[in-house]
Chains A and B, each alone.
Chain A
Amino acid sequence: MGNGASNYRRFREEGDENGLYEIIREYKDGLIFYLNSFVGNIRTAEELAEDTFVLLGTKKPRDKGKGSFRTWLYTIGRNIAVDYLRRSPTRVEVPTEDCGELIAEEESLETAYIREERKILVHRELRKLRPEYRQVLWLIYFEGLSIRETADVMGKNLHTTETLVYRARNALKVQLEKEELVYEKL
């Protein structure tokens, strides 16, 4: 468990900027990956993650403590991503020459954040799934959230989330079989 909640309280109530710095250090990469599952562009996801931290610093929303700090932070990030997609409904065209660079950046982040070779391979197969499947599988298998927490972050009810997890897992299995990969945690 991270110290997100206590760091945020330190920043919000005592004005200690180190609190926010610790939050950025602790949650930056995971948030970027989660947001990447929305927008499908690692740079955009990074900008949205930065927007999320700026919102914490300017509006200083109150964490009601219903779930973990991570759940709450990801919910804010998700809302920002939804706003972004609403404002930019059409897909962002990425120039061909930038594709290699983007993939390289993402892989670099994978290495730093996911670390395990096997997990990194599975994560790469997630890109081929629908965004909703990507999101739910990322939250459960990579961030370690419960189904309840995942439902909270995604703004869905428990039953819908369970169904979504089931279908996403089957879709990932099929995808891994195509690539002759086996992931025993599924």
Chain B
Amino acid sequence: MKSCDEMAKDVFRRIEEHKTERRERRKKTVRMLIVVACFCVSITVVASGAAAVYYVIQETEPQVASSETVSEIISSQEPENKEYEVKVYFASGSEEFAGKFKGVQVGGRKSEIAISKNIDAYDRTITKTILGVEEEYSLVSVWSNEYSEQQIIRYRSDEMYKHKHLYIKAETGEIVYYNDIGLYSQQPVDRYVKKDEAIEIAKEYISNFTDDDLSRYDIKTILSEGKNSTNYDNYTVSFVLSTGGQGLYVAHRVNVKKWGGECYKYEAGKYNNNEMKNVTTDMMDKAIYTAEMKMFDLCKENGILFNYTKKQSAKMVYSAEDGCPVMLVTYSLAEDSPKAAGANILFEVKMK
């Protein structure tokens, strides 16, 4: 039999063992809870991040009207364009076309590379956390706004379908603009230049184009498909080097303001956009409709799918020559692929 001391010793030993066992069990439970909590948090973060991206994409995805929609519109309305004279410009960046404007949008992948040569002082990549997602952005370009004297650095994430852009003030590092609008991202111009400089830049770019570039951008090639008898001598064919080139409808708002407005303002000898008082909404609608009709026919004749969202800009101006209102409507010839950048058609619908 155990003595009192022996039993007490055994009792206290077993109590201590029990305490140790309980501590270990608690530790294990806490570890398991931490693992489970981390798992739940990571799932929540990933899900919310995905939801945010999905939300942004859903919110900003362009609503593309099909050619059938346009056909319905056309068939339901009798065109009333007898009094309009329509001129069509295939805008692809010639000196002549560029020369019509004070500024030419200079952009596209090539210009981004060219311009970014001047900004070696900046880091090539940065990492930013936006909407809870940390991502690395590559330097794309630096552009100066000659009006506000600001220099903006543009960074872009490389994921094709996320196409995120950051616009950062070079002077302060402040993010002044951020977009995440899917494939069809808004791309403001890299910089604006004056007429002579624009011509020089256009020449330089055209001279640097490879055969591949030319085949991609050559409107003649596109329009010749299915029809060889088009007489291009009647048109002014030029290159427009637009920013990124997609120029889909998200971008056209920028173009309306910067390209259509600012450009024509300096063509004082030809157009005067300060006298718009006699132009009614109805007149503008008719002019746009006429241009759309013409665009639709042109695409149909040449086997190109007409996409309503290709309209980049519509600008009503007056002719300085005879005072007639002129509707300038610009379409992109780019197919869904953004590689067909920079191909535009300018319709000049002059009201008689």
Contact = CB atoms under 8 A, between A and B. Distances in A.
Interface stretch (A17-25, A61-69, A84-92, A126-134): A17-25
A57 B11 contact: yes
Nearest to B12: A17
A54 B7 contact: no
A108 interface: yes
Interface in B1-40: 1-2, 4, 7-8, 10-12, 14-15, 18-19
A54 B1 contact: no
B1 A58 contact: no
Contacts of A24: 4, 7-8, 11
Interface in A117-157: none
Contact size range, A: 10 to 19
A58 B18 CA distance: 7
B20 to A, nearest CB: 12
Q: Is the interface of A mostly helix, strand, loop or mixed?
A: helix
A28 B4 contact: yes
Given A57-B15, A58-B15, A58-B18, A50 B10 contact: yes
Interface string A24-62: 110010001000000000100010011001100110000
Interface in A76-124: 105, 108-109
Contacts of A108: 1
Contacts of B12: 17, 20, 57
A53 B2 CA distance: 14
Contacts, number: 43
14 contacts: A17-B12, A20-B11, A21-B8, A24-B4, A25-B4, A28-B7, A49-B7, A50-B10, A50-B14, A54-B15, A57-B15, A58-B14, A58-B15, A58-B18
Nearest to A17: B12
A49 B14 CA distance: 13
Contacts of A32: 1
The 3 A-B pairs of least Cβ separation, nearest first, read: A57-B15, A53-B11, A58-B18
A61 B8 CA distance: 18
Interface in B205-231: none
A24 B4 CA distance: 7
A71 B15 CA distance: 23
Contacts of B15: 54, 57-58
A20 B15 CA distance: 11
Given A24-B8, A57-B15, 20 more contacts: A17-B12, A20-B11, A24-B4, A24-B7, A24-B11, A25-B4, A25-B8, A28-B4, A32-B1, A46-B1, A46-B2, A46-B7, A50-B2, A50-B11, A50-B14, A54-B11, A54-B15, A57-B12, A57-B14, A105-B1
